[in-house]
Amino acid sequence: MEAAPAKVLVVDDERGMREVLNAVLGGAGHSVVEAKSGEEAVRLIGSDIFDLVITDLKMAGPIGGMDVLKAVKDISPNTVVIVLTAYATLEVGVEAVKLGAYDVLTKPFNNDHVELTVHKALDAKRLTAENLLLKRELKGLASFENFIGASESMLKVFTLIHRVADTNSTVLICGESGTGKELVARAIHDNSPRRDRSFVTVNCGALPEPLLESELFGHMRGSFTGAVANKEGLFEVADGGTVFLDEIADAPPGIQVKLLRVLQEREFRQIGGTRNIKVDVRIIAATNKDLAKVVAQGLFREDLYYRLDVIPIILPPLRSRPEDIPLLVHHFLAVFCRKANKPVLKVAPAAMRVLKQYEWRGNVRELENVMERVVALAPGPEITLNDLAQWLRGSSSGGLGIPADLPLEGLDLEGLINGIERDLLVKALERSGGVKKEAARLLKLNARSFRYRVDKYGIKTGDESNEGSDESEESD
C-alpha cells in the first residue's frame, strides 16, 4: 500500500514491539524514530515535529500512553496519534478519542491492519491541512472566477502557462496590480502534475518579518513569546504542491536569505528547530514592481532574483488589450446577475465604447468592481453611459470615459463623441423632468437643434404635448 512518506514516532517499552512497528512502517517508506519510554517520547515531541505518533497505552514509568497523547496534542496539535493496548475496553477507546487519538488498536495486531490504519490517519491529517488552507485561501481569493482573454498578448500568456505547467521550473509573474497574477499561478498549478496537492498563497508584504518567517517555515514550542505549540510552516504543509509568493519584492532581507536556501537546497529549518526539513515544492513568485530595478536599488538580493526569474511571465495591463474588455464585461455581468437573481443586463453600444476606451488603472479588478456596482444599481435592463459615469471618475474627463492620452491602438472618435452627446441629452431630459424646452436650455441649444439630436439617437421623450411651445422657439 502506497502512502506519502511521513516521520513517525513509535513509543513502547517493549523492544520487540518497537522493532516490529519499525519494520512495518519503514517498509512502507516512512521514517521511524523509536522511544522506549513515555518520558523519552515527551522529550522527543518537544524537540522535533512528527506526522504521526504510535504509542503503547501501558508502559513502565510515570508517563503512560494517555500522558503521551496529551503531550502531543498540547505541544504539536497537528500530529496524529494512534494508541496501542493489550487491554482494550470501550471506556479506554472513548477516553483516547476524546483526548484526540485517531484510533485505538488492540494487541496482538495484524501488520497489514496497522499499515492501513496509518495510511488512513495520514490521509486524514493531509485532508485536514488542505481544508484549513482552502478556508484561508477563500478569504483572500479574488472573486472573478476564470482567466479570460482572446487578445494576442493573452494568447501568448496562455501558451506559456501550458508549456511551463508540466515542468518544475520556478516562475516569476510580473504585472500591474489587478492583472490576475494569482490566477496565472493557479492555472499553472491546476495544469501541473501537482494539481492534487496543496496550492499555498503567501503575501510577502502583508506580515512583519517574524510572523512571515513563522508562517512560511513554522516554529518550535517556546522559540519565541507566544509560541505555545509546535507549528508546521506552509512550505512543509505544501510538500508535493506549489507555494505562491505574492508581492515577492516586499520580502524582508532575512526572509530573502531563507527563501534562497529553499530554492537552492530544497530544505529549511524551523524557528527554534535543530534539524533541516526537506521539501518538494514548486515556487511561483509574483510582483507588481520591476524587480530588476529593485535589485539595482540594493533592496532585493541579486542571487535570489536570478533563482526566481527562471521563467518570466509578463501580464499585460487591461488598457493594452481593449479587445478583451467586452469578454470580461459579459462574463462579470453573467456572474453578478446570477448572484443577484437578475436577468443578464445588456450593454448599450455607447457604454461599451466608453468601457473599451477607459484607462482601467486598476485593471481587471477595477472592471470587476464597476460591473458589480452596476448590476446592483442599474435601474433598467440595459447599462447606459449614465449608469457608468459615476464609477469612472478616475479619467481626466470627470467620468465621461475620455482617455487621458491617445491610446497606441487609436480610438473611435466619432463613436466616443456620439456616446457622450447622447448621454448628456438623456441627463438633460431627466433633470428637466422630460420638458424639452428646459432640457434644450440646459444644453444651450435651440429647439430645432435639440430635436434633431434627440431624433438622431432615437431618444424617447415621453409626453409630446409641449411640442408647439418648443417649435415656437425655433425663430429665436
What domains sit in the chain, N to C, each tagged with a CATH number? 7-133 (3.40.50.2300), 148-316 (3.40.50.300), 318-411 (1.10.8.60), 412-476 (1.10.10.60)
Q: Round to whole Å and give the CA distance between 40 and 317.
A: 59
Beta-carbon count within 10 A of 62 CB: 9
Q: What pLDDT sits at residue 469?
A: 43
Q: What pLDDT sits at residue 412?
A: 66
Torsion sign across C-alpha atoms 285, 287, 291, 295: negative
Q: Which three cell numbers stand for residue 420?
A: 457622450
Q: Show pLDDT as tens, one digit a residue, over the chain (476 residues).
A: 445 678 999 999 999 999 999 999 998 889 999 999 999 999 898 878 888 999 999 898 899 999 999 999 888 888 999 999 887 677 787 888 888 899 989 888 889 999 999 998 888 887 777 665 555 444 434 333 456 787 888 888 988 998 999 999 999 999 999 999 999 999 999 889 999 899 999 999 888 999 999 999 999 888 888 888 888 899 998 999 999 999 999 999 999 999 999 999 999 999 998 888 999 999 999 999 999 999 999 999 999 999 999 999 999 999 899 989 998 999 999 999 999 999 989 998 888 888 988 889 889 999 999 999 999 988 889 998 878 877 775 443 444 555 555 555 566 677 677 778 887 888 888 888 888 999 999 999 999 999 999 888 878 775 444 444 444 444 44
Q: Round to whole Å and give the CA distance between 346 and 384.
A: 9
Q: What pLDDT sits at residue 408?
A: 56
Q: What pLDDT sits at residue 462?
A: 59
Rg from Cα positions in the chain: 32
Q: Round to whole Å and give the CA distance between 75 and 93.
A: 22
Closest CA relative to residue 242, chosen from 274, 207, 195, 286: 195
The answer to whether residues 434 and 465 touch, using CB atoms and an 8 Å cutoff, is no
Q: Which three cell numbers stand for residue 411?
A: 480610438
Q: What pLDDT sits at residue 401?
A: 52
3-state secondary structure of 173: strand
Give the DSSP H/E element, type plus range, for residue 284. Answer: strand 282-287
Give the DSSP H/E element, type plus range, for residue 53. Answer: strand 52-56
Q: Which three cell numbers stand for residue 53?
A: 505518533
Closest CA relative to residue 36, chosen from 60, 7, 57: 60
